[in-house]
Amino acid sequence: MMKPGRFNLAREGYPFILIGVFLTVIFLLVFKPLAIVSGLFLAFTLYFFRDPERRVPKDRSLLVSPADGKVLKVESLPAGPYLAQAHQKISIFMSPMDVHVNCIPCDGKVKEVQYHPGKFFVASLDKASVDNERNAVILETPEGKEVAFVQIAGLVARRIVCYARASMPVRRGERYGLIRFGSRMEVCIPPEWEVIVKPGDKVKATQSALARMK
């Protein structure tokens, strides 16, 4: 698992970046107008797969955001597909312009990883939460609390990458995956934890706190 700040570019982007470099070089040699197109593709891939260094908050009671994006909704649920007990759910929309590397929101041990095939609706729609392709990581904190964080594919996002595995110990701020080209992240937490974000807030993975753990 990647450590925070270790790479400036997400390794999942290397094949796309190499393709962009190769095409740009070839077109510069044989047909320069197309080199502009391939150069723009290369610039986009470099931008999209950026993996900036982030500092984890020193306060160990803070649950950090697993993704960059905008908070869409904060809601309380009696139960759900990932946590059987009552919980709060925070939904985050990731636009194609956001950093798409995903991080672990709190310390713990992975209990289970659930992959669900599905459709590719626009990720900002509520139905994307249950109908789209998604991958859920259920984690148990050192205090015995369950937390779930779910990568959800979107209209353009067609590839979910997750390196977390059952029984794996994880630490807050570690990289664990990526969703390509616009998507959604949902975080399910115990009902007694204090949510400190609201709909419309912009958050950054690892750096921004979503809730205070109790």
| Residues known to be catalytic | 183
Q: How many CA atoms lie within 13 A of 172 on its CB side?
A: 23
Question: Which residue from 109, 154, 99, 97 is spatially nearest to 129, judged by alpha carbons?
Answer: 154
How far out from the chain centre does Cα 199 lie?
A: 18
Q: How many C-beta neighbours within 10 Å does residue 47 have?
A: 12
* Residue appearing with tokens 């059987």: 84
Q: Which two tokens stand for residue 46?
A: 């470099």
Per-residue burial over 162-190, b = 16 or more CB atoms within 10 Å of its CB, e = otherwise: bebeeebebebbbbbbbbbbbbbbbbbbb
Helices (H) and strands (E) in the chain — how many of each?
3, 14
